[in-house]
Structure 1
Amino acid sequence: MATDHAPPAPSPGAAEPPLRVLLPQVLPALLVGVVASLLYLGISALAEEFQDVLWDDLPDALGIGGYSSVWMISMLTATGIAVGLVVWKVPGHAGPDPASVGLGGAPLAIGVVPGLLLASTLALAGGVSLGPENPIIASNIALIYWCGHKISPSVPAAAWVVLASAATIGALFGTPVAAALILSEALASRPGSGSLWDRLFAPLVAAGAGALTTQLLAEPTFDMGLPPLDDPGFGDLLAALVITSAAAVFGLASCYLFPYAHVAFRRLRHPMLMLPLGGLALGLLGAVGGHLTLFKGLEEVKELTASIGSWSSGELARMAVVKLVALLVAASCGFRGGRIFPAVFIGSAFGLLAQALVPEVHPAVAVSSGVLGVLLATTRQGWLSLFTGAVLAASPAMLAVLCVATLPAWLIVTGRPQLELDKAGNALR
């Protein structure tokens, strides 16, 4: 005879307990994190070795300055030719048009990955103003989905995509926090069972494994050596509000110009015309802006911030504009690469320009605010932009200032064109 205290029988459609669902995800997520990090580190190491050969060993052997105008123009044009050959001849053509590809996305065919990684490595080593994030994330998604589908066909493709994306972002930034912030924006808008943290559990495991693998093997750092801001005041808040908003407007210029630049290069119709011409343009821009405006930009930011006060406002303005145009050209003509790290350089140069014009502005406020504004405009990733600006400042007190500075900048960029196009070549908003 049943009592009033007997537990109700579970209905046939009752969900499994969260613990029983989450625990089996730990091992696959750990493996995905380690694999994603190893691929990122391997491609980065290969690109750095090749970069040393192209920009140090080879010009030294020829008796030519590695960062002379002649060498920069020649090397970027040659890089355009090499990447053009990959896009033209290698199976898979190095993936879809990068102008219409953001972070993540559906898995590419596995045969596309070798060409995509080769094109990205050549661009990184050759000095193209793009980062590694988009190709590495896309490659990890394709590889992990292919392997996961072979091992466990019943697991939805979306699960492997989220794990691979989180693991790679964790590896890129050396911390799972960036992955958590980016994925929280994406997952919060999707229907699904369970709480947000249930859905973030496996991706965070993957991101943590990727971040720890990167930390153990490469010890990455975003420390720019900026003097810390310990006690921000109203003057710092006002400076952050102005610089972030101005940097957002500056970054939006590239978003408005992106469709036109993309159409101009697409009219050439062939990768052996688009990419060599784009490489030549990047070489000419490098000759104008100097060697700091080449490459993905993170190491160059460290060099830029190591000499605060030694750059004139004219030099900083030139570097910010040249890097912005270089990012626009590289993303439009078909080079494979990401836009986050170049945007960090643009924002840093813009912030230091503001500090050069108004020396009373604290350097940490100037750099973090400039990066925050440009990233908001070019990525439209609010949490990622805020996280990156705060990490560069290396000052907990800056976080509150940047949170407030984000608000007017977001009103400026929201609903505006993004630095990404749809398949028809129209700007996303």
Structure 2
Amino acid sequence: MAQDTARQPPPVPATPARTLLPSILPALVVGVMASLLLLLVSWAAEQLEDVLWGDLPDALGVGRYSVLWMLVMLTSTGILVGLVVWKVPGHAGPDPATIGLDAPVLPLAVLPGLVLATGLMLAGGPSLGPENPIITVNVALAWWLGHKIAPRAPGQVWVALAEAATIGALFGTPVAAALLLSEALAKRETKGALWDNVFAPLVAAAAGAMTTYLVDEPVFDLDLPALGQPDWGDLLAALVIASVAALLGMAGVYVFPYAHAVFRRLRHPMLALPVGGVVLGLLAALGGHLTLFKGLDEVGEIAADPDGWTAAEFATMTVVKLAALVVAASCGFRGGRIFPAVFVGSALGLTAHALVPGVHPAVGVATGVLGVLLAVTRQGWLSLFTAAALVASPSIIALLCIASLPAWLLVTGRPQMQLHADGTQVR
């Protein structure tokens, strides 16, 4: 017994409160700043979207979501973003296919072009979300401000604050940021207790989430029919749908580098992005207007009427949206992959419900989102949280935890939907 006690590592010393207290104010500032930037870019993109997809086609007497207008708009968006990438200083940052949620620290001169390219993309209809570029912008701003205010503080502190703040602002809750932080800390050696390490980032995430909530009041619950007490049929459906969704997501992951290589051969953003816009317009003509944009509003529309489309229509939307995500992310549009992946998983889950009416819509949507996000993001906690938040049913959590196990076995250790600078996939 004495030998066993001697072999145990000494307990991790707790960080005194006086050490943590000075981090609160900078974290609050970063959190509010990150949220306001996200809200500003999103608001500006929504105003432009109303003009491009409402006022302009109405004035021209063209159907808002006619095949002609979708082709015109997506091609034009490719041209405009291509001009930004080509001509604006900084070229709107590095190749977006090489960036995940862990953002690089970019020079300030790059940020205006990146914000402009992101706003044009969000308004124009490509299937990407704002998360990756907004995190990148917030990280660069926090790094710059942090070194001005506290030059002796480690730079990684400001990166962690900005990433956590933006995730909190995106989801309207600090829970997602807390889960991501715990997963990130588990991958590297850290000193001190877990909650000491996440204290300041959680303050930033809470500030970002509260700012978003107070200004915009985001709602992620899709208001699907209540699940009630799960039974064995629900468990079987969860296991099957999550696994199929993970396999579908991995199909997109494996296609991703080949699509990227095709657009890379065009060698110029004024070729790659307009051609990508044309391909996205053709995909939208096949899948319909619900397969446009980042997908969050469109998920709410299909979830509001789970029986409003046939299984074939849901399946078409699933495949088209996944293809649109791969094309948009590989041809050079600046954006993230989480929100369109949520649409892919939701449409797949509703396909299962349409094929087998006994599959509860909430089970189909939640487990479909879980599987696709596990494949696309390789973030287990974020995938579980997002899937649970969409359904907002306590009884779904146990099903999601069980369904995540076979889905994770299908994706772990395999390539990710992110590339190195030489075009090879991150593992």
TM-score (norm 2): 0.96
Q: Deviations over 1:262-308 (max 9, x none)?
A: 00000000000000000111011111100000000000000011111
* Aligned counterpart in structure 2 of residue 133 of structure 1, from 131, 134, 139: 131
Matched, 1:259 2:260: no
Q: Name the counterpart of 2:121.
A: 123
Q: Name the counterpart of 2:368.
A: 370
Q: Stretches of 4+ moved more than 3 A in 1?
A: none
Q: Name the counterpart of 1:3.
A: none
Q: Name the counterpart of 1:6.
A: none
- Structure 2: distance between partners of 1:426 and 1:37: 33
AA aligned to 1:272 is M
- Structure 2: distance between partners of 1:365 and 1:33: 34
Q: Name the counterpart of 1:227.
A: 225
Q: Name the counterpart of 2:422.
A: 424
Q: 1:16 to 1:379 in 2, by over 3 A?
A: closer
Q: Is the contact made by 1:87 and 1:119 (CA closer than 8 Å) also made in structure 2? A: yes
* Aligned counterpart in structure 2 of residue 86 of structure 1, from 81, 84, 87: 84
Q: Name the counterpart of 2:169.
A: 171
Q: How far has the Cα of 1:404 moved from its partner?
A: 0.4
Q: 1:329 to 1:17 in 2, by over 3 A?
A: closer
Q: Name the counterpart of 1:247.
A: 245
Q: How far has the Cα of 1:192 moved from its partner?
A: 2.2
AA aligned to 2:187 is S
Q: Is the contact made by 2:14 and 2:192 (CA closer than 8 Å) also made in structure 1? A: no
Q: How far has the Cα of 1:105 moved from its partner?
A: 2.6
Q: Name the counterpart of 1:41.
A: 39
* Aligned counterpart in structure 2 of residue 409 of structure 1, from 398, 407, 414: 407
Q: Deviations over 1:81-120 (max 9, x none)?
A: 0000000000000000000100123311111111001000
Q: How far has the Cα of 1:17 moved from its partner?
A: 4.7
Structure 1 residue matching 2:100: 3-state secondary structure: coil
- Structure 1: distance between partners of 2:82 and 2:389: 36
Matched, 1:194 2:192: yes
Q: Name the counterpart of 2:3.
A: none
Q: Is the contact made by 1:104 and 1:141 (CA closer than 8 Å) also made in structure 2? A: no
- Structure 1: distance between partners of 2:203 and 2:115: 25
Q: 1:73 to 1:25 in 2, by over 3 A?
A: same
AA aligned to 2:324 is A
AA aligned to 2:367 is S
AA aligned to 1:373 is G
Matches within 5 A, 1:239-388: 239-388=237-386
Q: 1:188 to 1:16 in 2, by over 3 A?
A: closer
- Structure 2: distance between partners of 1:193 and 1:29: 20
- Structure 1: distance between partners of 2:62 and 2:126: 20
Q: Is the contact made by 2:15 and 2:196 (CA closer than 8 Å) also made in structure 1? A: no
Q: Is the contact made by 1:84 and 1:271 (CA closer than 8 Å) also made in structure 2? A: yes
Q: How far has the Cα of 1:16 moved from its partner?
A: 9.1
Q: How far has the Cα of 1:218 moved from its partner?
A: 0.1
Greater shift in the superposed pair: 227-236 or 378-387 = 227-236
Q: Name the counterpart of 1:217.
A: 215
Q: Is the contact made by 2:234 and 2:360 (CA closer than 8 Å) also made in structure 1? A: yes
What do you get for the CA RMSD once the two structures are aligned?
1.1
Q: Deviations over 1:206-257 (max 9, x none)?
A: 0000000000000001011101112011111110000000000011001000
Q: How far has the Cα of 1:46 moved from its partner?
A: 0.2
- Structure 1: distance between partners of 2:108 and 2:276: 28
AA aligned to 1:396 is P
- Structure 2: distance between partners of 1:133 and 1:106: 14
- Structure 2: distance between partners of 1:118 and 1:103: 19
Q: Is the contact made by 1:354 and 1:366 (CA closer than 8 Å) also made in structure 2? A: yes
AA aligned to 1:60 is D
Matches within 5 A, 1:94-105: 94-105=92-103
Give unmatched runs, 5+ long, in structure 2.
Answer: 1-12
AA aligned to 2:16 is P
AA aligned to 2:182 is S
What is the aligned length? 416
AA aligned to 1:168 is T
AA aligned to 2:308 is S
* Aligned counterpart in structure 1 of residue 394 of structure 2, from 396, 411, 416: 396
Q: Name the counterpart of 1:147.
A: 145
TM-score (norm 1): 0.96
- Structure 2: distance between partners of 1:261 and 1:175: 35
Q: Is the contact made by 1:120 and 1:336 (CA closer than 8 Å) also made in structure 2? A: yes
Give unmatched runs, 5+ long, in structure 1.
Answer: 1-14
AA aligned to 1:254 is G
Q: Deviations over 1:175-200 (max 9, x none)?
A: 00000001111112222221111000
Q: 1:256 to 1:17 in 2, by over 3 A?
A: closer
Q: Deviations over 1:366-424 (max 9, x none)?
A: 00010000000000000000001111111011001100000000000011111111111
- Structure 1: distance between partners of 2:332 and 2:104: 20
Q: Deviations over 1:299-318 (max 9, x none)?
A: 00000111111100110111
Q: Is the contact made by 1:286 and 1:293 (CA closer than 8 Å) also made in structure 2? A: yes
Q: How far has the Cα of 1:18 moved from its partner?
A: 2.0
- Structure 2: distance between partners of 1:307 and 1:290: 16
Q: Is the contact made by 1:188 and 1:196 (CA closer than 8 Å) also made in structure 2? A: no
Structure 2 residue matching 1:224: 3-state secondary structure: coil
AA aligned to 1:198 is D
Structure 2 residue matching 1:28: 3-state secondary structure: helix
AA aligned to 1:65 is G
Identity, in percent, stands at 67
Q: Deviations over 1:316-363 (max 9, x none)?
A: 111001000000000000000000000000000000001111100111
